[in-house]
Amino acid sequence: MERKSAILMNRYELGRMLGQGTFAKVYHARSLATNQSVAIKVIDKEKVLRVGMIDQIKREISIMRLVRHPNIVQLHEVMASKTKIYFAMEYVRGGELFARVAKGRLKEDAARKYFQQLIGAVDFCHSRDVYHRDLKPENLLVDEHGNLKVSDFGLSALKECQKQDGLLHTTCGTPAYVAPEIINKKGYDGEKADIWSCGVILFVLLAGYLPFQDSNLMEMYRKISKGDVRHPQWFSSDARKILSRLLDPNPNTRITMDKLIEHPWFKKGYKPAVTLATPRASKDLNDVQAAFSTDQKDGKGNRAEQPNSPLKPASLNAFDIISLSKGFDLSGLFEKDQEQKSNSRFMTQKPASAIVSKLEQIAETESFKVKKQDGLVTLQGSKEGRKGQLAIDAEIFEVTPSFYVVEVKKSAGDTLEYERFCKKGLRPSLKDICWNGPSEEKLPSVSESVPPTPSSKSTKRNGI
């Protein structure tokens, strides 16, 4: 691949090497289809398998698919051969922001512009439950127009990585930029840890050097833990104030993202970026798993499309049915944010095929895409909402051959937009197949009255 075969997967012409790490090399390349410059990250499969980094690479692919924003380096596609994984990414011509800071500190207005773009990108990541965890000038690129681009999501985490206490526990990042709570090996909030790193970056942009420096690593950690920082005399009073809020060693009192964006120093000349359309869920994308499959062929870019599995409704046993009853719902004892939990259920005697057909009709009317697999029908919105594209999961359960329960819940997007869709689109359209749903404010739960039917008698005979 180095020079003997300059054409990759019949799609890209490889050029010079831009950089390399332990497990990957990055090349400049040109798309044969569009003539567009791209960066190709080449990862050695054997090395990442040997050190157990499979899940980390999969997560990086997933997250880069999820965070589509003008100030984030974009992942165009993922390809694979038997021995290599290839990321085709946006090529950023201007290089690292670190190189600009290395020449000397920036003027306050220039530093503010980069910081605003950084916060816009990081806030977008947080709205998708993504935490970068390695924010530093070396991972911030600048394009030919002077716009900042966040890169390298190799250490990033999703909200689902949190433990039962709702916190992250993996110690990672670059020592000079990590938050005190990470150094102290306590559980930490990914959003607040990223905000601290952004504060360190802002200090570096304004000062030209790190806020916590010491040749002794333990002494540097002590300074970070205490928030022991001295501001240069050329810092403006407003810059000092915002930095003191960003570099607060107590995560509970550290400035939040919402308050930061409303801060007078930050708001000066701020122009929020227009976000890009975002795929619904990274973990559902074929290329995440396909990148690690063993049936890849060298030199071939096209991959066999995996058809959707036939939809097979899941079966409910007695314990499942009891747990669906409101009187036996104990989730409030274990789950947080119950107000944000949006789901509804309806019952029907129509077969699974009729339920799916009805959902497909609703999707077509509302311009949603449909994906079907293992009893789950996903409706994926095409419009970008307040919190990304709306996505709705409808899971079909078979109680008896003539009695089905369908649970509908929001899997992505804004709750208000979901409720509006249910009220105006979903409920009226389900009128002819579900019981009671269209005339009620909420779709009926399984615990509500069930008309005397052969299926309900059958359920009683089974001792339920």
Sequence letter at residue 45: K
Q: What is the CATH number of the domain that holds 185?
A: 1.10.510.10
Is 296 among the domain residues? no
Overall average pLDDT of the 281-302 stretch: 49
Q: What is the CATH number of the domain that holds 43?
A: 3.30.200.20
Q: What is the CATH number of the domain that holds 381?
A: 3.30.310.80
Is 344 among the domain residues? yes
Sequence letter at residue 392: I
List the domain range (segments joined by +) for residue 401.
314-461
Is 289 among the domain residues? no
pLDDT tens string 96-138: 999 889 888 999 999 999 999 999 999 999 999 999 999 999 9
pLDDT tens string 43-55: 998 888 887 788 8
pLDDT of the residue at 186? 78
pLDDT at 454 > cutoff 60? no
Reported as a pLDDT band with limits 50, 70 and 90, residue 20 is confident
Reported as a pLDDT band with limits 50, 70 and 90, residue 323 is very low
Contact call for residues 400 and 456 (beta carbons, < 8 A): no
Q: Which residue has the tokens 């036939």?
A: 310
pLDDT at 215 > cutoff 80? yes
pLDDT at 212 > cutoff 60? yes
Rounded CA gap, 446 and 10, in Å? 54
Number of H helices, E strands in the chain: 16, 16
pLDDT of the residue at 457? 37
* DSSP type of residue 96: B
pLDDT of the residue at 358? 79
Is 286 among the domain residues? no
Does this model's pTM top 0.75? My answer is no
**Domain boundary pick from 203, 238, 267:** 267
pLDDT of the residue at 448? 37
**Domain boundary pick from 77, 92, 107:** 92
HSE, CB side, 13 Å, CA atoms: give it for residue 62.
23
* CA dihedral sign of residues 218, 219, 220, 223: positive
Residues 246 and 355 in one domain: no
Residues 240 and 378 in one domain: no
pLDDT of the residue at 316? 55
Contact call for residues 285 and 62 (beta carbons, < 8 A): yes
Rounded CA gap, 135 and 117, in Å? 13
Other CB atoms within 10 A of residue 193 CB: 27
pLDDT higher for 320 or 66? Answer: 66
Is 442 among the domain residues? yes
Could you tell me where the beta strands, DSSP code E, fall in 53-170? 75-80, 84-90, 130-131, 140-142, 148-150, 157-158
Rounded CA gap, 164 and 167, in Å? 7
Q: What percent of the chain has pLDDT over 70?
A: 76
41 is in an annotated binding site: yes
Is 158 among the domain residues? yes
Residues 120 and 81 in one domain: no
Overall average pLDDT of the 338-349 stretch: 61
Residues 356 and 454 in one domain: yes
Mean of the per-residue pLDDT values of the chain: 79
pLDDT of the residue at 338? 41
Other CB atoms within 10 A of residue 184 CB: 13
Residues 103 and 243 in one domain: yes
| 3-class secondary-structure state, position 164 | coil
Residue 412 φ then ψ, to 5°: -160, 155
Residue 427 φ then ψ, to 5°: -60, -50
Rounded CA gap, 430 and 438, in Å? 7
Find the helix or strand (DSSP H, E) in which 36 lies: none
pLDDT at 463 > cutoff 80? no
pLDDT higher for 288 or 282? Answer: 288
Residues 79 and 109 in one domain: no
Is 292 among the domain residues? no
Contact call for residues 348 and 438 (beta carbons, < 8 A): no
Residues 147 and 125 in one domain: yes
Residues 368 and 233 in one domain: no
Overall average pLDDT of the 313-319 stretch: 53
For residues 422, 368, 65, 198, the Cα torsion angle rounded to the nearest 10 degrees is -40
Cα separation of the two ends of the chain: 63
- Taking alpha carbons only, the member of 138, 105, 135 closest to residue 206 is 105
**Domain boundary pick from 204, 232, 267:** 267
Residues 212 and 351 in one domain: no
Residues 85 and 110 in one domain: no
The count of domains in the chain is 3
Residues 427 and 377 in one domain: yes
Find the helix or strand (DSSP H, E) in which 110 lies: helix 108-127
Contact call for residues 97 and 158 (beta carbons, < 8 A): no
Rounded CA gap, 173 and 33, in Å? 38
Residue 440 φ then ψ, to 5°: -105, 160
Is 284 among the domain residues? no
Helix axes 108-127, 190-207, angle to 10 degrees: 170
pLDDT at 394 > cutoff 90? no
pLDDT of the residue at 405? 79
Reported as a pLDDT band with limits 50, 70 and 90, residue 226 is very high
287 among known catalytic residues: no
* 123, 134, 194, 393: the active-site residue: 134
Distances (CA, A) of 126 to 44, 131, 144, 380: 30, 6, 27, 21
Residues 223 and 340 in one domain: no
Other CB atoms within 10 A of residue 124 CB: 23
pLDDT of the residue at 149? 97
